[in-house]
Amino acid sequence: MAKNELDSEDYIVELDKVTCPTREQRANGTNVYFGKASELLDDAKKGNLKCTERGFQQSGGCILNFYLSVRVSTIRDAAIIFNGPVGCSHAALGYKELYGAIPEALGKPTNYKLNWLTTNLGEDDVVFGAKDKLIEAIKEAEDRYSPKAIFILTTCVTGIIGEDIESAVNEIQPDVKATIVPIHCEGVRSKIMQTGYDAFWHGVLKYLVKKPKKKQKDLVNIASMLSYAWQDRIEIERLLGKLGLRVNFIPEFASVEDFEQLSEAAVTAPICPTYTDYLSRGLHQHFGVPFFMYPSPIGINNTDEWLREIAKYTGKEEEVEELIKEEHKKYVPKLKEIKDKFKAIEDKRGSKIDVLGSLGQGRLVTQLPYFDELGVKSSSAMAQDFDNILIDELEDVIDKVGDFNVMVNTFQAAEQLHITEQTKPDMALTCPFQGGAWKREGSVSRLHSLRGDPRKWSTQAGYAGAVAYGNFLLQALKNESLQRLSKENTGVSVKKWYLDQPDPLYFAEKGK
């Protein structure tokens, strides 16, 4: 069931405001939960989800770092100003190389540049304020890079000392060619990092998107490239290209013009609904661009449905059926081969391969049906956050694949280790930030890739991705030496008593 403009009005994007509300405020969001998916659904429906405190908590990233800054960094013909102490921009040191590694032969724009500055706030600035420094940085960015847009990323420090970013922007904007886009991503604003997405889209909708000059009936807005894998982008362009459609990918590697024309597209399609939600609603409410929220193009069936949704808005209903038929002819047999191999392993072990998925809430609702297609199961899943945005979709997934355990946390390594030790899945799928080898007996692989990964084996989207990732999972079952030997030789980071007691949320303050 596709959530779309019919229920767009349940949250109104208020562009006269400086920024968005937090996910806690607007969508009842949480990143502390453990239970059955059906219980999570029930609690979400009743409005019972709470983002409670943890007595033991690990650094999961903030609104600025890392979901936001890494994406904003890839925008072409733009510059970024990290308005904070030097450390807030520390992570950005690597982005130039991470994205630089994508070959232009694969379609990376030749004029891709990554320009960023930090206002390098020091003790004096904290005491006396740093408005002048921000203005100086804006001028400096203009002089150095002649960007079309300058994004200002705010930080804990500017938030707490009460910097009036808007007044600095209003003062300097008349003298600067670039459009200045302040983004309120102060780390202390929200416990839920996904608030950063909304803060970014708020700035984009408010400052960059232009009123449509003309509607482009063949243009499809797509926000986010899953986990930034370049091949996903190629696959999506391939499929939509066959329908005679063009993709307006944002924000990764987009130009400022791509943002400006968001209002002219035929539809905004999701790859990650939690990421796209605020943008989709904003574009619909303020510029009349229709959208849908589910499914994402992961797995054969979801890709079929995703393409059909897009076709509805672009008048390609007939073409899409033709395309689906053609693609199935090539990819369904390949998927069946993979399924057969999983079946052979299942027969040998006597049970279905059980995968512990480390998913975002977006992947939670798309990955599990795909695992079902592969013939593996996921009796437990991890999600980084959960909120009202995906209530209907979760219900839909439970209907399709049955009930399962859900653990909601954002990079809480101890809790993730706990569920792995307790449930002993055949395979644990991780985000690539575990601190080293994931030490366990059994397979480990990754579900997200960090960089602009251009390799074909990393494809996950569309039909090619369904096959590539199926093979990726098969490979993971073939050798477990690294994680096993690491565990045997250096042990794990938490004590045994914690892993032995039943509750991964042992340190969470329940019911507050």
Partner 1 sequence: MSEKSENYIDESSSPRIVEAPRYGCTLSGAYEAAVGLNEGVPILHSGSGCGMSQLFGANYGGAQNAPGDYGGSSTPCSCLVEEHVIFGGEDKLRKLIDSTIKISTGEFFTVISGCVPSLIGDDVDAVVNEFRDKAPIIHVNAPGFKGNSFEGYELFFEALVDQYLKPSDKKEKKLINILGIVPFQHIFWKGELRAIKELLEKLDIEANVIFGEFDTVEKIQKIPSAAYNIVLSPWIGHRAARKLEKEFDTPYISFPGIPTGPIQTTKFLRKLAEILPINKRKLEDLIKEGERRAYRTIEYAGDILQFDVPNVYFGVVADSNTAVSITRYLTDEVGQLPDIVIITDNPPEEYKEGIINAITSSEEIQFTPDIIFEIDSFKINQLLKDRPFLNLYASSLESVIKGELETTHVTVSFPSYNRLVLGDNYVGYDGGLNLIQDLFYDKAGPL
Which residue in the block uniquely carries the two structure tokens 């304020």? 129
Residue 413 near partner 1 by CB under 8 A: yes
Contact region with partner 1 (CB under 8 A), list: 272-280, 321-329, 360-368, 489-497 = 489-497
- The closest alpha carbon to 217, from 241, 255, 244, 236, belongs to 244
Q: Which residues of 228-262 are buried (b: 16+ CB within 10 A; e: fewer)?
A: bbbbbbbbbbebbebbebebbbbbbbbbbebbbbb
Please state the closest distance from residue 454 (CB atom) to partner 1, in A: 16
* Main-chain dihedrals φ then ψ at residue 294, nearest 5 degrees: -160, 145
CA angle (30, 35, 38) in 5-degree steps = 90
Decide whether 144 or 246 has the Cβ nearer to partner 1: 144
Please name the helix (run of DSSP H) or strand (run of DSSP E) that holds residue 294, with its range, or none. none
Of the candidates 411, 463, 469, 472, which one interacts with partner 1 according to CB under 8 A?
A: 411
Of the candidates 1, 160, 482, 485, which one interacts with partner 1 according to CB under 8 A?
A: 160
Residue 183 near partner 1 by CB under 8 A: no
CA angle (271, 277, 278) in 5-degree steps = 135
Residue 262 near partner 1 by CB under 8 A: no
Residue 241 near partner 1 by CB under 8 A: no
Write out the E strands in 314-465: 354-359, 377-383, 405-408, 427-430, 443-446
Decide whether 54 or 284 has the Cβ nearer to partner 1: 54
Residue 168 near partner 1 by CB under 8 A: no
Residue 97 near partner 1 by CB under 8 A: yes
Sign of CA pseudo-dihedral 175, 178, 182, 185: negative
Residue 144 near partner 1 by CB under 8 A: yes
Residue 491 near partner 1 by CB under 8 A: yes
Please state the closest distance from residue 362 (CB atom) to partner 1, in A: 19
Contact region with partner 1 (CB under 8 A), list: 57-65, 238-246, 356-364, 457-465 = 57-65
Distance CA 193, CA 500 (A): 30
Distance CA 260, CA 478 (A): 48
Sign of CA pseudo-dihedral 184, 186, 190, 195: positive
Identity of the residue numbered 277? D
Of the candidates 15, 18, 126, 345, which one interacts with partner 1 according to CB under 8 A?
A: 126
Contact region with partner 1 (CB under 8 A), list: 36-44, 54-62, 384-392, 459-467 = 54-62
Residue 92 near partner 1 by CB under 8 A: yes
| Binding stretches for partner 1 (CB under 8 A) | 53-66, 84-94, 96-98, 100, 115-123, 125-126, 133, 136-137, 140, 144, 156-157, 160-161, 187-191, 193, 411, 413-414, 433-436, 490-495, 498, 507
